Amino acid sequence: MDYTDFLKSKIYTQSSIGKNISEKEINPTLFPFQRIITAWAIKKGRAAIFLDTGLGKTFIQLEWARLLGENTLIIAPLSVARQTTREAKKLKIDINYIRKQDDVNKMLSITNYEMIEHFDFNTFGAVVLDESSILKAIGSKTRKKITALCKNIKYRLCCTATPAPNDYTELGNHVEFLGICKASEMLAMFFINANKEHTFNINDKIYRKKGSNKGGQEWRLKHHAEKPFFRWLASWAFALIKPSDLGFNDDGFILPPLNIYPHFVQIDYEPKDELFFTHIKGIKNAADIRRQTINDRIRILKQIIDNDQWIIWTGLTAESKAITKLIPKAVEVKGDDSIEYKTKTFEDFQDGKCQILITKPRIGGFGMNFQNAHKMIFFGLNYSWEQFYQCLRREWRYMQKYPVDAHIILSNIEISIYREIMRKDAQAKRLRNLLIKQIENYEKDEIEMRQSTTNNYSENTVSGDNWIAMQGDSCELLKKIDTGSIDLSIYSPPFADLFTYTDSGRDLGNCRDWDEFFKHYAFIIQEVLRVTKSGRLTCVHTSDIPAIAQKDGYIGIRNFPGEVIKAHEREGWVFNGRAFIQKNPQAQAIRTHSKALLFAQLRRDSVDSRPALIDQILLFKKSGDNEVSVEPVKNGELDNETWIKWAHGIWTGISETDTLQYSHARGEEDEKHICPLQLATIERCIKLYSNPGEKILTPFGGIGSEGYQAVKYNRQAILIELKEEYFKVLIKNMQKVESEIKTLSLF
């Protein structure tokens, strides 16, 4: 594989395993934008359709199943399955609503999430999860079971409303079900554990995991990962809020006004075991407040209800019982009602046979089409914005003819819940627009089957007395250096750490795993070998790397130097030795926050304590004797005492702060500070393994440390650096050392 092909292989996209069909094969009942999405999803084979409510997810999934021609099972919420069968009739698609494997008698079947244990999934060639966002709510055990049952099914489709892009839990559920990767792998590639307070910052695009994690976890998208993440997302998911997001006319898909009316009942609440109320404390306390305020809230409800059709969303059984008793003509749908009763009641409401429907969000709040009504009441709220939003969208959908009125009845002490829901709603609107904006161009590439390429790449060259600096990709620029022209190379390769410093695929650090890293690194090792004179050395700075459970699957240490040695030997270098650089464990503990180096861990359980990670300089030699035309390295700059210290194998006396100033080199989007090599370490490599006047190469120039020392000690420097911010600082440092030498020569 040549380097261009390798760069293409590094692009984070999901390959297609489906079938090519033309839009003409798709039922003309579908709108043009729906046909495009359907064709794309069939081509992908495994995909997610994130379309806002009312944009036709049901039509798309039915056509996806029909045109794939596989024995297909659609899994849907209880309230949605019957509705899907009615939609199928509009497309003249024959679908069977079933509850067990023995009922399968057609190519296309639909069942409920509650029935999955009654099926043999080995008999299906395709599966659809309708309202797939429900994966978050059905419990991890059931979610894992669905994923496991479907893991051998070739074609998989998820359909749900556009997710809030800060909800990485939902995205993680989808990638695991689709077999794209594990949720933990997605986090390791694109996200960073922020470990901050639970506040939202739209500029930082913070992604959270809510729930019972110890201490809580908060993730945000790495700054440099933004473009790769949305490109990757677009390769398996299609997100749309309105047809114009794809360049189509919005006629028929313009939402009517939504009016939200909060009503606060003034009450005197007496909490148990407290002198006075301060704030709502948890789910149990919130439920207790709702129970004690039912009668007060019902007084408001009686004033609101008129002769139109209404949905009343409740959260407690006591609430629905009280309202049903108050309004005899209201019909309630409960969780323990039969499937047949639930289905008939929902259909009666849709047909206008029922004026007032009382139910809970988890029963009727997902997937149902209730555009026949345009008024609803939330008889209380919890902190779930998604439930609130989904309930709104049962009526506030495309094809709704009237403004939708949503009344929220709360006690005055629940105003914090209302404010939190409204805050989340505003946040979600901003983020959804951001998601669509970010993903739009990549989706167009996907539709037209265009291959995204590495972009924003440019080269630049600046030179001075005894140095030349090139900005660009080392794999490309090393080719411009003459074979056998370099006397010594010194550098520290970037460790595999995705999107820390750039978003470029040319960045050696931007590799998803060690296998990809060392494939990339091999191109550089080969070129450095070619340009090095026979018999001369390369000095590679490395260190062991902590293994992280989220990324590596365990906590421990990875032997990075050992893998670097193997990589060089594969390309023809001879391993010639190494030097260890003494480190201060306390300074390292402060810098890295590693608990393994803390006094507290030593006293708590020293089994999890470890020594400081020690830097290593690995020495590799190019086969063959030192060229006859080149003067041997005689080390005229070293006395015997210095040689004894430096030949010891453990280099002491090197200060960890003995580096060039690097704070100005850090870009605003960088996730970590650059870590330049200590100047004293570079000095030892230069004086031990090169003569004055010889050429010193660094393929990872950083801020110019190796070149700075090379020129300082009367050598010639060749530096290559990819990142523009670093290159600018590199040039300043090279010009600085050049000026210092000229000043010294005057005296």
3-state secondary structure of 715: coil
- The DSSP H or E segment spanning 158 is strand 155-160
Question: Does the domain formed by 258-427 have CATH 3.40.50.300?
Answer: yes
Q: What is the 3-state secondary structure (H, E, C) of 95-132?
A: CEECCCHHHCCCCEEEEEHHHHHHCCHHHCCEEEEECH
Give the DSSP letter of residue 40: H
pLDDT at 207: 38
**Alpha helix ranges (H) inside 204-359:** 226-234, 282-292, 294-304, 317-326, 339-350
- pLDDT for residue 208 is more than 60: no
CATH no., domain 460-581+614-746 = 3.40.50.150
Confidence band (pLDDT; 50, 70, 90) for 262?
A: very high
Domains of the chain, by residue range, sit at: 28-179+236-253, 258-427, 460-581+614-746
- In whole angstroms, what is the distance from residue 670 CA to residue 546 CA? 20
Q: What is the rounded radius of gyration, in angstroms, for the C-alpha atoms of the chain?
A: 32
- For 81-87, what is the mean pLDDT? 85
CB distance 394 to 369 below 8 Å = yes
Run of H or E residues at 541 = strand 532-542
Average pLDDT, integer, range 45-61: 91
- Tell me what pLDDT residue 588 has: 65
Question: 3-state class of 719 per DSSP?
Answer: strand
Q: Are 643 and 635 in contact (CB under 8 A)?
A: yes
- Which segment of 335-339, 367-371, 662-666, 733-737 scores lowest on mean pLDDT? 662-666
DSSP summary character for residue 271: -
| pLDDT at position 664 | 58
Could you tell me the CA-to-CA distances from 326 to 266, 360, 701 in Å, in that order? 21, 18, 77
Tokens of 747: 């005296």
Instruction: Return d(Cα 243, Cα 120) in angstroms, integer.
Output: 38
Domains 28-179+236-253 and 258-427 share a fold: yes
What pLDDT score does 673 carry? Answer: 58
Q: Residue 203: its pLDDT value, please?
A: 36
**Terminal CA-CA length for the chain:** 55
* Separation of alpha carbons 392 and 310, rounded Å: 12
Q: Report the 10 Å Cβ neighbour count for 501.
A: 24
Q: Crossing angle of helices 560-570/514-531, nearest 10°? A: 50
Average pLDDT, rounded, for the chain: 85
Q: Which of 174, 324, 288, 328 is nearest to 238 (CA)?
A: 174
Least confident of 298-312, 489-503, 558-572, 705-719: 489-503
Burial class (CB within 10 angstroms; exposed 0-12, middle 13-18, buried 19+) of 464: middle
Determine contact, residues 223/669, Cβ cutoff 8 Å. yes
Q: Name, in order, each residue with C-beta under 8 angstroms of 13's C-beta and a sequence gap of 6 or more.
A: 231, 232, 235, 452
Q: How many other β-carbons are positioned within 10 Å of the β-carbon of residue 549?
A: 11
Q: How far apart are CA 443 and CA 230, in angstroms?
A: 9
211-220, 265-274, 389-398, range with the lowest pLDDT? 211-220
Strand partners, 120: none
For residue 594, give the 3-state DSSP assignment.
coil
| pTM of this structure | 0.76
Read off the pLDDT band of 211 (50, 70, 90).
Answer: very low
Query: Under CATH, which number does the domain 28-179+236-253 receive?
Result: 3.40.50.300
pLDDT at 269 over 70: no
Query: How far is Cα 268 from Cα 292, in angstroms, rounded to an integer?
Result: 10
Per-residue pLDDT band at 191 (split at 50, 70, 90) = confident
* Amino acid in position 595: K
| DSSP-assigned letters across all residues of 595-644 | GGG-HHHHHH-GGG--PPPPEEEEEEEESSPPPTTS-----TT--HHHHH
Q: How far apart are CA 553 and CA 314, in angstroms?
A: 43
What pLDDT shows up at residue 669? 59
**Residue 608 CB: number of other CB atoms within 10 A?**
12
| pLDDT at residue number 282 | 60
Quick one: pLDDT at residue 590?
Answer: 62
Is 210 a residue whose pLDDT tops 60? no
Check pLDDT > 70 for residue 331: yes
Are the C-beta atoms of residues 175 and 186 closer than 8 Å to each other? Answer: yes
- What pLDDT shows up at residue 699? 97
Residues in the chain: 747
Query: What pLDDT score was predicted for residue 14?
Result: 86
pLDDT tens profile 338-361 = 888 988 899 899 999 999 999 999
What stretches of 150-240 show up as alpha helix (H) in DSSP?
168-178, 183-190, 226-234
pLDDT of residue 108: 94
Q: What share of the chain is helix, strand, coil (3-state, %, to 5)?
A: 40, 20, 40
Q: In the Cβ-directed half-sphere of 272, how many Cα atoms lie within 13 Å?
A: 6
672: Cα within 13 Å, side-chain hemisphere: 15
The residues, any chain, with a CB within 8 Å of residue 139's CB and separated by 6 or more, are none
Residue 398, Cβ neighbours under 10 Å: how many? 19
| Cα 338 from Cα 335, distance rounded (Å) | 8
- 22-33 pLDDT tens trace: 888 999 999 999
Least confident of 422-431, 540-549, 617-626: 422-431
Under DSSP, is residue 717 helix (H, G, I), strand (E, B) or coil? Answer: strand
Q: Answer yes or no: are the C-beta atoms of 39 and 95 closer than 8 Å.
A: no
pLDDT at 277 over 60: no
- What is the pLDDT, as a whole number, of residue 77? 83
Amino acid, res. 100: K
Contact predicate 411/296, CB 8 Å: yes
Angle at 10 between CA 5 and CA 16, to 5 degrees: 90
Between CA 348 and CA 373 the distance in angstroms is 12
pLDDT at residue number 539: 98
Q: List the single range of 3-7, 350-354, 426-430, 456-460 with lowest mean pLDDT.
A: 426-430
524 closest CA partner among 97, 12, 605, 511: 511
Instruction: Report residue 715: phi and psi, to 5°.
Output: -115, 175
Degrees, nearest 5: CA angle 657-658-659 = 95
At residue 464, the 3 state secondary structure works out as: strand
Whether the pLDDT of residue 196 is over 60: the answer is: no
Amino acid at 611: P
Instruction: Name which of 143-147, 148-152, 435-439, 686-690 the model is least confident about.
Output: 435-439
Mean pLDDT confidence for 274-279: 52
pLDDT band at 198 (very low <50, low <70, confident <90, very high): very low
- Look-up of token digits 């005689």: 634
* pLDDT confidence bin for 60, thresholds 50/70/90: very high
What are the backbone angles phi and psi of residue 219, rounded to the nearest 5°?
-115, 145
Looking at residue 312, its pLDDT comes to: 96
Please report, rounded to a whole number, the percentage of residues in the chain having pLDDT higher than 90: 47
Tokens 């006004």: give the residue: 257
User: What gap in Å lies between CA 59 and CA 83, rounded to an integer?
Assistant: 12
Residue bearing the bigger pLDDT, 206 or 378: 378
Q: Which residue has the higher pLDDT, 273 or 658?
A: 658
Q: CA angle, corner 627, sides to 626 and 628, nearest 5?
A: 115
Once rounded to an integer, what is the mean pLDDT over residues 598-611? 74
Tokens for 705, please give them.
Answer: 């440390």
Residue 457 vs residue 45, higher pLDDT: 45
Query: For 498-519, what is the mean pLDDT?
Result: 88
Q: At what angle do helices 294-304 and 282-292 cross, to 10 degrees?
A: 60
Nearest to 469 by CA among 702, 294, 274: 702
